[in-house]
Amino acid sequence: MRGGVRWLPPAKNSTRPPWRSCRRRWPRPRLPVARGQNLPGRSTMPRPLRNMLAALMALGLSGCMSTVEVAPQPRASIPASGQTQVVSAANAAALNSLRAQYGLPGLRPDATLGRVADGHARDMIANGFFGHVSSNGNSIVERTRAQGYAFCHVAENLAMGQRTFDTVLQHWMTSPSHRSNLLHREVTGFGLVRGPGNLWVLVLGRPGC
């Protein structure tokens, strides 16, 4: 089963949007199903893959990148009030320490990417959803461009429920799509915010090539 966002140039004369929605509105949970099937719960996916998807749904994880497929959205409940906060320098150091373990350069905090992350966190809080598509239908690509960030690469990881960023990183590293975003060689900057209900939004990017 495939789910999430794949950002590709539209075909000639095509009226279809170049991305597919990876957002789910609650409360309408959907179980994994094999391609071409309509009945929930009847999947021909290998058991290890089904187990991994179930674990991700329980953890409250979600990842998006302009060229990377992502895991299905879990059901979530976000408090309707509260403020987001920019994460501490210690959390930024934890992200760069993780990348250093794989021989990758550190990432610089980027104010524009921080605004992208903060804006999406506030949107999810205000409108009670958890996903990569904004309440107005914008994707991470459109949200980033709207902030004036001309990028070569952009990615977004979401999580909810984990009390510490170290725990968030541990969970993201167990998911191929989240791990790919964290360890992407081309990104150079990031924005990271935390919202009420332990909502985490990480946006990674590289400005115009």
Residue 11 lies in a domain: no
The pair of three-digit structure tokens given for residue 86, joined into one six-digit string:
């920019």
**Average pLDDT rounded to a whole number, residues 118-126:** 95
pLDDT bin (cut points 50, 70, 90) of residue 120 is: very high
C-alpha to C-alpha distance for 85 and 3, rounded to whole angstroms: 30
Band (pLDDT 50/70/90 cuts) for residue 84 is low
Find the mean pLDDT for residues 62-76: 41
Cis-peptide into 74, omega within 30 deg: no
Whichever domain contains 129, its CATH number is 3.40.33.10
Residue 151 pLDDT exceeds 90: yes
- 102 assigned to some structural domain: yes
3-state secondary structure of 191: strand
- Domain membership flag for residue 58: no
Please report whether residue 135 resides in a domain.
Answer: yes
Tokens 């949970």 belong to residue: 29
Q: For the chain, what percent of residues have pLDDT higher than 90? A: 55
* Residue 54 in domain: no
Quick check: is 161 in a domain? yes
* Number of compact structural domains in the chain: 1
Residue 130 lies in a domain: yes
Average pLDDT, the chain: 73
Amino acid 61: pLDDT: 46
Tell me, what's the pLDDT at 83? 60
- pLDDT value of position 134: 95
pLDDT of residue 64: 53
Domain that holds residue 135: 85-207
